[in-house]
Every structure is written in structure tokens, then in C-alpha cells.
A and B are shown apart, each in its own frame.
Chain A
């Protein structure tokens, strides 16, 4: 093989790598260890992870239960190692699953069409923005500051290179979108207004009211969610033109930050502008119901630089986890799960001084009143509790504020301990 490539040794294969990025020392492990000794070594170090700690972190990644059946189904070979379903004849299983996924996403979000999944919630946001730019032929984006800070950063990565100006909308004293700021900045050049609900502070935005304002100027309304469980209880954003979000809450392990699965859903009239993969229902040559990838003319392997996006894949396995999750819980179960989240978060919030006075789901912002958030979190860590996210890093005006999340996994004793840590002066 080396001879065919015109090379002498394996070293030649990586000759292009700059010396600065090469690892030139030895691994920091003693020589002569057997396989089980090495496995033991790493097991010992893994013990230092915060296994079994209670967590009150939300902020885009949530601690929810993963039903055992999810892994049992997704680890089946037919799903685990199946390739992209370009060849419909041998891919009916995965295509049917994707079709079910798309259908469930529509039911959850109140939209008419959803694609086969995006990489994650954060990258779905700029995709929606680009879609709005194409649909409206306008070139400016407004995004609420109460949208997840890292989602806003990802939007910037895309819009910077596309030369699309992005302006941020302030939040009011109660933590929700400042409608006056929206009215002031919205104009005939605005392609989309992007709002998150529940927002980064956990508060539920008034989607209906702001949709009238946005549509009044001919712009599209993009609604984002980071906590999918909220949709089990909150009115779906039917007045949105595009809904995007993150499905990590649906049996996708937090896993050190990913991989996750995002969604994008919209109205039928925009179907040719939606990015990514679409599974469609059709009939085969014998007239039986069948599934296939469809509307491929949106995608780059056909339209090249005029494609709706450069994404040409989906998060099939993770979307499947979410599909199994949604099937297992069902409509009733999703509602019960959401109610438990709501109850737990409000139990905890009642014991703490809150920063914002507006309805929230399972996240809220608490003030620390004297102590620093870092001090409180350090004390909690000693009690095997991971505290909330200190907000000053993303919102300098919210010093001594912490974003807390309680889910169905939160235990009363841990919530009581956390409340005490805040109370102690």
C-alpha cells in the first residue's frame, strides 16, 4: 500500500503534520502493566468523577431519567450500525423510525413539518435564521438576550461570515423579553426575531403577544427551546414560523456536552426552505406503504452552493433515543413528567429569594444575598451536591445570581440542603 502511494514508511503518511502538534514523549503510565492492571488504573481515576452527586444544573443540558428500554432498542444492530438510508429498499426500518420522529416533533411543537434532526439545539438556531433570510429576502436578525448565551454565539459564527447583522433584544425587569425594545428595533429589514421559551432564565415568554408584533412587520418568528420536557405542559408555540430546539432531555445522556440532537420544524409552506434530511411516506411498486428520503433537491449534493444548508446528515441514533423516549412516555406520561418537574422546581424556588417575578417551568434564577455563588457551590459540593450556574459570566449585570434547575430526579433532602446553603449568612 505504501509503495502504491509512493511512500517509504508509515512515518511518511503523517509527514505533513507540523512538529508542534505531535506528541513526542511517552504515555504517563509505567511500562510492563498487564491489561487488567491498566483497566484498574483508569477505573480508580474514574472514581474521582462526581458519580451519584445530585445536580441542580440546567442551562441547556438537563438531568432527566433515561428509561432502560431506550438503550435496549437503540443498541440493536439494525439501528446501531445502519448506514444513512439513501437506499430505501434496505432501509425501511430506520426510515420508518425517522418518519415517526418527525411526526412526534410536529405533534410536540404544533408545526406541520419537521426534519430528521439537526446536530443540536445551538446549530439549529442559525439554520432557522438562514431559512428566514431566504424566505423573506431580508437580511437582519433580532435575537433576545434571554436566549442561551452559547446559542447566540453559534448564531454569530454563521451570520458573521454571511454578513448578516444581528441585534440583541433586552429583557425586562421581570426577566422576559422587553416588548418595547422589540418594537423599537423591529423594522422592514428584519428577517427573523428569535426568542427562547422557556428562556435561559427559565421563564415562559408571551409567544402569542410577541408573534403579533413580529408578524406585523412581515418578519418571521423563530421560537427556541432548550428543555424539551417543557413541551409536555406548556402551550406549543403555534404562532411561530419556525421552531428549533434541543432534545437532550429525551433520553440523551449529558455525556460531557454531547453529542445531542436538535430539531427544526415549520409550516408546510416553507417545506422547500427547511435544511437537512427529510423522510417521506410513499408507496412502493406493489402499492404498499413505504418510506424514503425526499425533497433532496434542497440539499447540497444536488443544489451545491444554492442548497438550503451545508448539513447533509442527521443525528439518527440520538433522534432514535428521543423517539423511543417519546413513545414510552406518550402524551400522558410527558404531561406527568412535566408536572413533576414543575412541582419540584417550585418547591425549591419557594425557599429561595428569586431574581425574576414571572411564570417559570423547571428553572429559575435565585439571588445569593451576601455570599458569592462560588462559595455556596463549594459548600454544596462537600455535601455531594452540584449547585446552579453563576450567571455573572454570561450576564455581568446579574452578579450574585444563580440559575437553578430541579427535575423529576431531584430529591427533597437535596433541595432542602441547597436551600439551607443559600439561607446561611
Chain B
């Protein structure tokens, strides 16, 4: 019997543990956005599970008054998959970082996206290793000086969005770490989405990589440097809402409305629900403006739906209801 979900506030999701991130860290924004999003999701508190790996981001479950596990480095997708397959009724969240998900946990990250289990992944991407105090990560830029690359990083970075879409992600969203309202909304959308959803948060590390996103996320420039995508709406951006995207050959091009006879009608319309990820790939690769919002949201059959359908079918057709039926069936013989 479904009991009505109580009306929660963010306080219901706040644990008694003291939050120990550095002052000014975007992680606080993510935490509060999540605590505000959960009451809007229509899920019962006891059905929410946060699973994390290792890293600054992975302290997250301790601060949520829900079920949670702070596990081992890179393995949260595996643990979360087990939780969800064991009990599909749960709302399962993986909280991870760029190193946790794409370095040590890279294999699990791509496979969880491929399988499309209905769980949500929030990746805090700060392009640095914070908890181990400042080494380069798989998203650090070439030339970036860190404790493990004093003369500049020589390893080219992953683009998380490209990696995710390449692995078959059905839902990918990107958001700055300093916009709590939009972030809250994205979390709600991710929970609604049936399948694995991945949200990349461009999270500023105030200690080891401060300002790495300022040129896109600073309040003064963000509207000019980001395009916030919404399904079914034209790809328009800019403080004056006069810039937009068109397709020129096989490339996206920034145009200005009013110049060269361009009108709003000429702009591309965002279709997040398109199965073919080609346009979504182009959007995640875009360097100016950078794409934020829900870039891809293609609803597909989930792993647990396939599994449940098979189990139901096998159960209906099987003569085995109890183990005794199996053990005593077939090639048995009697010793008298």
C-alpha cells in the first residue's frame, strides 16, 4: 500500500554532522541545493540512499539525513547499482568527483552509464584533486601547474560530457557551482528521469584551483559565456538575449540576432530527447559559449525494467517454485 509522502523541508534532510568542507567551497551550494530539491521530489526520506566514493565530494552522504554509504575510491557506481537492483523502489544517488569517477573509477563510470540503471550521479568537477591536496586530475588542463605537475600538466583532459555520451549516457546535464536555484531544479529533473542521469557540476575549489571556471561562471559574464539549454527552446544566450547557435556545415556557430539577416527563427531549437547524440556531443564540446542545463534527456528502457520483465516471464513459465522442486527434479535416483 502506498502511503502518502509527508511534506518535508530541507531541514528533514540535514544530518546532525558538522559540515567540514573549506569555507567558500561550492560543495556547500550543492549540499543545500540537494536538501532543497529532495522535498520537491515526492520520495520518502527512508527511500533515499546516497552512495559516495572517496574525495571531498564523497563526504556528502554524512551530511544528509538519509541512508548513505561513504565507500571506497571510485566504486560508488558499483555499490549504487547493487542497491538499486536489490531494491528498485529506492531513490539512489551517487556523489562523486572528477578523480573518483573518471580516474580510479573510470571503468565503473562508463559501465553504469551504458547499463542505464535508474539512478542519479552528481559529479563535482573541480579539475583538481582536493582531498589529497592538489594533484592534477583527469580533467585538469594541459599546462596546469599542480603539486604533481609543477612544470605544468602534460596529460590531456577528459571532457566528462563527451565521455559520458560516448558511453551511452541517456541523461547529461551541466551546471555551474554557483547557481543554487538552477541546480535544485536539475536535481529534481534528474530524479524524474527514468534511467541513469549524470549531472556535472562545475565546482570551484577555493584552495587548489580557485577561479578555474570564473571566465564562464562569474556573475558578470555568465550570461554571455554560457548557454542554458532548455528542451524545445531556441539556443539563445547573452545578456541581451541576442546571441544564438546555428549549424554551419558540421559545426555549431555563434550568430548575433539582427546581424547578417539572422532572426530568432534561424536559431537551432534544443531537442534534449533526440536519440541520436550527435548534436548533444557538439554541445558538450562547445567552448564558447559553454553549454549548461539539460543537454541530453533521452528516455530509454532501464536495466531493471529489462530484468524485471525477464524474471516475470521466467517465473510464469517455470515449474520451479521452491528449491525442493529443483533439487528433486530430473536426474535423481533412490537408494533403498
Chain A bound to chain B = no
Chain B positions near chain A (C-beta within 8 angstroms): none
Chain A positions near chain B (C-beta within 8 angstroms): none
